[in-house]
Structure 1
Amino acid sequence: MRLISDSPDVRRLISQQEACQPLERAEIDRFEAEATRLTQKWDREATQEAAPASGIGPAPGTLHPGANKVS
């Protein structure tokens, strides 16, 4: 009995798929590198925005409105 995987059509499809894999891997690698770069950029920007301008006290806009009011 001949296995289906021995058929010429299946072998052709397998070889086509294997030929595409390096291109797909390169595309995935580029995507992951870009995602990492953007994540690091956003983390840096968020850290800079959260740091107080004077270096003393909380960052502007982080306190609840009216939190500093004296009754």
Structure 2
Amino acid sequence: MTSHSISPSQAESSAPPRRYTEAEVAELAERLERDEYTSVFGCLEDWHALKAISFQQPELVVPYVHLLELEVDED
């Protein structure tokens, strides 16, 4: 697994929210798009980080909102 510049603990901390750059969010989204994780936990960590950023800085996540949408199981 690659080194993450954004971790869920950073994104969800009770400390004052860290300000993320467009480049950091793009890197996170790119990892999610590639979906080349060695375990499901890496993917979940990145997904949760992006979700947390969507609450703190929603303007940065707009291009990647499709990565956060949940699919409904119709069965």
Provide the TM-score with structure 2 as the length reference. Answer: 0.26
Bigger Rg, which one: 1
Q: Which has the higher contact order (CA 8 A, sep 6+)?
A: 2
